[in-house]
């Protein structure tokens, strides 16, 4: 039975997105605890009531590093308050979304962070995402990071420099962004963990869209493995995410090579296809079940706006 009929009304919230950037930074010790609602929470930390999860701390640190390095190439946050934080009617599902557009003249299209927490019969699901997309001034890969944690001992990791060209047609693109950058060394760090096994998306499209060095793994630490997972997340995983972000910041975000006019047209169409498909696969399939149609409709509309794939 679908939960889509649950009536949801999101509480009104202050527009965190319009606060000056510095005001949003809180030292970790000052993180709001459950029940102590505060608007001064960065989106990646999640709204009040969102429990602390190791992977979310790593995501927050990485997002902070990206923001610091990109500096004024990012505009201030620009999502309505009822999308910056949202929840379902009975409070069993919480979410946050933050979108910062790229500044005019920069190669950044947008940076999107989101956090979801959803209670389920036997526990909770926590999903944390960070996408930093470039615009059509460059054909360099986007940065993609997603953690999906379905239990305290296991999670799925998706990390990639998402290609924007047909790799089989462009071996020089593979060489530039995946060979020369040694991105595969990062993937291997996770591959070599005894708790890791390759993750294959059920979506054939998702499998097709990612790069040959994509870090796609299930990390399963087995019964009693809560602290092992936390150690891996704060150790190997944090290191790999930071390593890939450094590659992306150095080689992709700063890329200034010209894009051929004809190739740009194909690339823009390709980007749009990948974004539409990822919304279809990732969000429209899941968010309504978690948050009901009203909230999820609002959130998805905002993501569509960021992705530039608004529905007709």
Give me the residues that bind a second copy (CB under 8 A), please.
163, 166-169, 171, 174, 178-179, 184, 198, 200, 204-205, 207-209, 211-213, 266, 269-270, 273-274, 277
Beta carbon of residue 247, minimum distance to a second copy (angstroms, whole number): 14
Triad 111, 114, 120: Cα angle to 5°: 165
Between 194 and 198, whose beta carbon lies closer to a second copy?
198
Structure tokens at 190: 């996770």
Task: At 186, list the tokens.
Answer: 């990062």
Minimum separation from the CB atom of position 269 to a second copy (A): 7
In the complex, what is the shortest distance from the CB of residue 166 to a second copy, in angstroms, rounded to a whole number? 3
Closer Cβ to a second copy, 121 or 262, answer by number: 262
Angle subtended at Cα 256 by Cα 180 and Cα 185, rounded to the nearest 5 degrees = 20
Q: CA distances (Å), 86 to each of 118, 147, 256, 291, in order? A: 12, 19, 38, 8
Nearer to a second copy, 145 or 274 (CB): 274
Question: 195 vs 211, which CB is nearer to a second copy?
Answer: 211
**Contact by Cβ (8 Å): 110, 100:** yes
Q: Which residue, 19 or 283, is less far from a second copy as judged by CB?
A: 283
Q: Cβ 193 to a second copy, closest distance in Å?
A: 15
CB of 198 to a second copy, least distance (A): 5
| CB closer to a second copy out of 79 and 209 | 209
**DSSP class per residue in 25-64:** ---GGGPPPTT---S---GGG-STTPPP-HHHHHHHHHHH
Q: Rank residues 68 and 168 by Cβ distance to a second copy and give the closer one.
A: 168
Q: How far is the CB of 242 from a second copy (least distance, A)?
A: 22
Q: Kindly state the smallest distance separating residue 183's Cβ from a second copy, in Å.
A: 9
28 DSSP 8-state letter: G
Report the first-to-last Cα separation within the chain, whole angstroms.
29
Rg (CA), the chain: 19
Please calculate the CA angle 147-72-302 and round it to the nearest 5 degrees: 50
Which backbone phi and psi does 166 adopt, to 5 degrees?
A: -70, 105
């Amino acid at each position: 039975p679908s939960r889509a009929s649950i009536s949801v009304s999101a509480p009104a919230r202050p527009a965190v997105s319009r606060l000056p950037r510095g005001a949003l930074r809180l030292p970790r010790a000052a993180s709001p605890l459950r029940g102590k609602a505060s608007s001064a929470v960065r989106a990646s930390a999640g709204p009040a009531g969102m429990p602390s999860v190791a992977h979310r701390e790593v995501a927050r640190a990485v997002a902070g590093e990206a923001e610091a390095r990109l500096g004024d190439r990012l505009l201030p946050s620009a999502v309505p308050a009822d999308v910056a934080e949202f929840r379902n009617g009975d409070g069993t599902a919480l979410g946050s979304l933050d979108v910062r557009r790229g500044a005019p003249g920069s190669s950044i299209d947008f940076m999107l962070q989101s956090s979801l927490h959803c209670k389920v019969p036997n526990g909770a699901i926590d999903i944390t995402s960070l996408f930093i997309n470039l615009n059509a001034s460059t054909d360099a890969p986007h940065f993609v990071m997603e953690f999906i944690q379905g239990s305290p001992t296991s999670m799925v990791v998706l990390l990639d420099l998402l290609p924007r060209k047909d790799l089989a047609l462009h071996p020089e693109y593979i060489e530039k962004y995946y060979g020369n950058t040694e991105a595969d060394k990062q993937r291997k760090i996770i591959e070599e963990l005894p708790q890791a096994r390759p993750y294959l998306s059920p979506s054939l499209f998702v499998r097709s869209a990612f790069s040959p060095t994509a870090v796609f793994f299930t990390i399963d630490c087995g019964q009693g493995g809560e602290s092992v997972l936390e150690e891996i997340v704060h150790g190997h995983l944090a290191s790999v995410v930071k390593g890939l972000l450094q590659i992306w910041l150095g080689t992709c975000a700063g890329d200034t090579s010209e894009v051929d006019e004809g190739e740009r047209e194909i690339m823009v169409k390709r980007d749009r296809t990948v974004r539409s498909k990822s919304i279809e696969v990732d969000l429209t399939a899941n968010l309504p079940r978690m948050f009901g149609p009203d909230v999820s409709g609002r959130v998805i509309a905002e993501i569509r706006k960021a992705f530039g794939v608004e529905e007709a």
